[in-house]
Chains A and B, each alone.
Chain A
Amino acid sequence: KAGVTQTPRYLIKTRGQQVTLSCSPISGHRSVSWYQQTPGQGLQFLFEYFSETQRNKGNFPGRFSGRQFSNSRSEMNVSTLELGDSALYLCASSWSDVGPEQYFGPGTRLTVT
């Protein structure tokens, strides 16, 4: 069974621009969570989607948003990029209602200049 995939793997953007990241979960998984990983803040929860509904949201500004499609694929969007948004963005998928185990994708490395 294929693992969690994320595209693109690397991105370089300029301050003020916006970016969209994509995550395809493991087949059959209905929950997708997004995390931001930085050396200073570690792994921080952004939001979680389950059956196309945002079920939980972390403490990030409204510039960070996401959505989930009927096939469980998820996207997250960051508008008006700031230098501090430079990070590794990881998504993780799980069965959720069947089991809590979350499996991570390889991440998207975003650099804001």
Chain B
Amino acid sequence: GENVEQHPSTLSVQEGDSAVIKCTYSDSASNYFPWYKQELGKRPQLIIDIRSNVGEKKDQRIAVTLNKTAKHFSLHITETQPEDSAVYFCAARTESSGDKLTFGTGTRLAVRP
């Protein structure tokens, strides 16, 4: 089955700096890659996603890039703010597996004011 690895497990940046979180996946048939943000005590919130026919997608300060050949995708957050502090999860879905998402282990991002 699909396996998703996520790095780093923790990340601390200064407010205003950029943050990058990387994920690799194992199943070349995976075609959908969402990113979730989970604040303490809250539900995971879908913040951005990308499909396998797209190489990059942006939404204001966040962007996701996908390299299908290398089977990795990354989340980029620019001009970080203290409210970006949370745990971020990447995930992958294979169309033949319905809506099953395989998650990475999470990255705890701390933005220092």
Residues of A within 8 A of B (CB): 31, 33, 35, 42-45, 48, 50, 55-56, 58, 90, 92, 94, 96, 100-107
Contacts and interface: CB of A to CB of B under 8 A. Distances in A.
Interface of B: 32, 34, 36, 42-46, 49, 89, 91, 93, 97-106
Contacts of A96: 98-99
Which of A43, A44, A50, A90 is most buried by chain B, counting CB atoms within 10 A of its CB?
A43
Main secondary structure on chain A at its contact with chain B? Answer: strand
B31 to A, nearest CB: 9
A50 B100 CA distance: 11
Contacts, number: 63
B98 A48 contact: yes
Given A90-B43, A101-B46, A31 B102 contact: no
26 contacts: A31-B99, A35-B101, A42-B104, A42-B105, A42-B106, A43-B101, A45-B100, A45-B101, A45-B102, A48-B98, A50-B99, A55-B98, A56-B97, A56-B99, A58-B100, A90-B44, A92-B101, A96-B99, A100-B32, A100-B99, A101-B49, A102-B46, A104-B43, A104-B44, A106-B43, A107-B43
Residue among B42, B49, B101 with most chain A CB within 10 A: B101
